[in-house]
Amino acid sequence: MIERTAEERDTVPTPPRSGWRPGPAIMVAACFVGPGTITTATLAGAEHGFALLWAILFSIVATMILQEMAARLGLATGASLGNAIRGLVPRGPARWALVALIVSALGVGSAVYAAGDITGTAAGLSGLTATDPRYWPPVICLLVGALLWTGRFRVIQWALSGMVAVMCLVFVTTACLVQPDLLAMGQSLLHPTIPSGAQMLTVGLIGTTVVGYNLFVHSSGVLEAYPRGRALARSIRAARIDTVISVAIGGLITLAILVTAAAAFFSRHITVDSAGALARQLEPLLGPAAPYFMALGLFAAGLTSAIAGALAAAYAVSTSLGFGQNMRAWPFRIVWLAVLLFGTISATFQTKPLALILFAQFTNGLLLPILVIALLVAVNHRRLMGAWRNGWLQNLLGLIVVAVVVLLGGTSLLSVFGVVS
C-alpha cells in the first residue's frame, strides 16, 4: 500500500481553469534548461551543425511521455513517485537499497549540479554588471534560499515561469535573427544520424533533458496544483496539456540554442569551447548589446535550474524517506539547504570535486533506468491506478523510452570508467 502523510491527503488545491496556464510542468522545463544544456547544445551546433536536432526532438517527446505518466500517477493515487516506489517495493533490504540509491544519486547529484547552475548564474550576472563572478554565488544562494523558504508552491512556480519566459525570449529571438537554413533543419529532423565523434554529445543532449528527479518533482507538484476527487478527470487533462506545452517550450529553447550555434560557428568553420563565446559571434546581429543579451539568458537558465534542482532534490529525498512533501517541514528544507550550500561553496571557491562528480554520474546512470521501469510498473498497477492505468499505446511508447534510457544509463556508466568518451 502507498504510504501518505496526513498533509498529502488533506491538500485541496484550486480546480483547474479552462485553457493553459503555467503549471507544475514548467518546473520540468526549468530543471532541464540550465547551463549544462546550454553548453551541450552550443557545442553540438558548433561542431555538427543541425545534425543532432533530431536528438533534441526525441528527448522532448520522451520527456513528455514520462512526465505525463508521473503526473497521472500522482493525481490518480494521491501520492508522489517516492511514496509509490516505497509502496510497491516490499519492506526489507530491497526497499532500503533502492531508497539509498535514490538519496545518493539525487541528493549528491543535485548538490554537484547546483555548483554548475550557480556558476552559470554568476557568469550571467557578471556579464550584466561587469563584476567578478566570484562575488555572486552567496547572493544567488540567499535569493534562491529566500524563495524556497516561503514554502509557497505557486510563488515558486510563477517565479520559474517568468525566468523560462526570459530564456525563451532571448534564445528564440537570437535563433530567428541568424536566419537558419530551414531545409537543412528539416532534413536533420527527418533523417536522424550520429556524426563521427558525436556519440557523447548525443547522449548529453538526451541525458540533460530526460532527468530522473523531474519525475519526482512533477508527481509531487501536481498534488499541490490540482484537486482530485470529482475533479480528477479534469485535473489529469489539465496536467497533460501543461506537460505538453511546458516541455515543448523547454525543447524550443534548447533547439534555438543549437540552431544559433550552428549558424554562428559551424557554417563559418569557427571552433568554440564554451557557451559564453556565442555572444561574440552575435555582435554583427545584435551589436554591442549581444554580450548583455546572452548574459541575461545564461542568468535565467542558471537561476531556474538552481531553484528547480534544489526543489526537485528535496521532493525526491523527502518523499523517498517517508517524510512527505510539506515544503515548510524541516526534513524538506534541510535537503534543499544542503544542496544550495554545497553548490554555493563550490562555485565561490571554484572547486571541482572530481570524486563526487564521478559518483553522481555513476549513481544517476544506474538510477534513471530503474526509476523509469518503476514508473512504468506503477502506472500499469490495476489496484493503484484503476481506470487511469496505461493503455497499450502508452506502454509501447514507454518501452521504447525505457530501451533508450537503459542505453543512456549504460553509456553513462561506461564513461565513468573511461570505456567511452
CA 174/CA 177 separation, integer angstroms: 5
Q: Does 200 score more than 90 pLDDT?
A: no
Considering only residues 68 and 4, tell me which one the structure prediction assigns the higher pLDDT: 68
Residue 284: pLDDT band (50, 70, 90) is low
- Mean pLDDT computed over every residue of the chain: 83
CA 306/CA 111 separation, integer angstroms: 10
Decide if 318 contacts 335 (C-beta within 8 A). Answer: yes
SS3 content of the chain, % helix, strand, coil (to 5): 80, 0, 20
Residue 411: pLDDT band (50, 70, 90) is low
pLDDT at residue 63 in the model: 93
Count other Cβ atoms within 10 Å, centred on residue 69. Answer: 27
Q: Does 253 score more than 90 pLDDT?
A: yes
CA 228/CA 74 separation, integer angstroms: 10
Residue 353: pLDDT band (50, 70, 90) is low
6-416: CATH topology is Amino acid/polyamine transporter I (1.20.1740)
Domain boundaries, the chain: 6-416
Q: Is 343 exposed, middle or buried (0-12, 13-18, 19+ CB in 10 A)?
A: buried
3 contacts: CB under 8 Å, gap ≥ 6:
79, 83, 86, 87, 322
> Among 53-62, 135-144, 287-296, 328-337, which stretch is predicted with the lowest mean pLDDT?
287-296
For residue 294, give the C-alpha cell. Answer: 546572452
Q: Does 53 score more than 80 pLDDT?
A: yes
Residue 7: pLDDT band (50, 70, 90) is very low
CA 66/CA 210 separation, integer angstroms: 8
Within 63-103, strands assigned E span none
- DSSP three-state, residue 12: coil
Q: Does 11 score more than 60 pLDDT?
A: no
Phi/psi at 56 (5° precision):
-65, -45
Residue 1: pLDDT band (50, 70, 90) is very low
Share of residues in the chain with pLDDT > 70 (%): 84
Q: Does 309 score more than 60 pLDDT?
A: yes
> Among 225-229, 276-280, 342-346, which stretch is predicted with the lowest mean pLDDT?
276-280
Q: Does 404 score more than 80 pLDDT?
A: yes
Please name which of 165, 161, 213, 182 lies closest in space to residue 339, comparing C-alpha atoms.
213
CA 158/CA 22 separation, integer angstroms: 8
Decide if 6 contacts 221 (C-beta within 8 A). Answer: no
Decide if 363 contacts 101 (C-beta within 8 A). Answer: yes
| Mean pLDDT value across residues 20-34 | 86
CA 221/CA 23 separation, integer angstroms: 9
CA 323/CA 300 separation, integer angstroms: 31
pLDDT at residue 13 in the model: 66
pLDDT at residue 222 in the model: 92
Q: Does 10 score more than 60 pLDDT?
A: no
pLDDT at residue 254 in the model: 93
Please name which of 163, 173, 180, 177 lies closest in space to residue 53, comparing C-alpha atoms.
180
| Mean pLDDT value across residues 357-372 | 71
CA dihedral 372, 376, 378, 379 (to 10 degrees): 130
pLDDT at residue 351 in the model: 74
CA 194/CA 174 separation, integer angstroms: 26
49 contacts: CB under 8 Å, gap ≥ 6:
184, 188, 262, 266, 267
| Mean pLDDT value across residues 79-84 | 84
Q: Which of 118-127, 227-236, 266-275, 289-298 has the highest mean pLDDT?
A: 227-236
Considering only residues 148 and 22, tell me which one the structure prediction assigns the higher pLDDT: 148
Considering only residues 297 and 244, tell me which one the structure prediction assigns the higher pLDDT: 244
| Mean pLDDT value across residues 83-101 | 80
Decide if 28 contacts 63 (C-beta within 8 A). Answer: yes
CA 408/CA 209 separation, integer angstroms: 12
| Mean pLDDT value across residues 46-69 | 92
> Among 77-91, 148-162, 327-341, 386-400, which stretch is predicted with the lowest mean pLDDT?
77-91
Q: Which amino acid is at 200?
A: M
| Mean pLDDT value across residues 209-235 | 88
| Mean pLDDT value across residues 287-294 | 77
Directed axis angle between helix 354-378 and helix 109-129, to 10°?
A: 110
Q: Does 272 score more than 90 pLDDT?
A: no
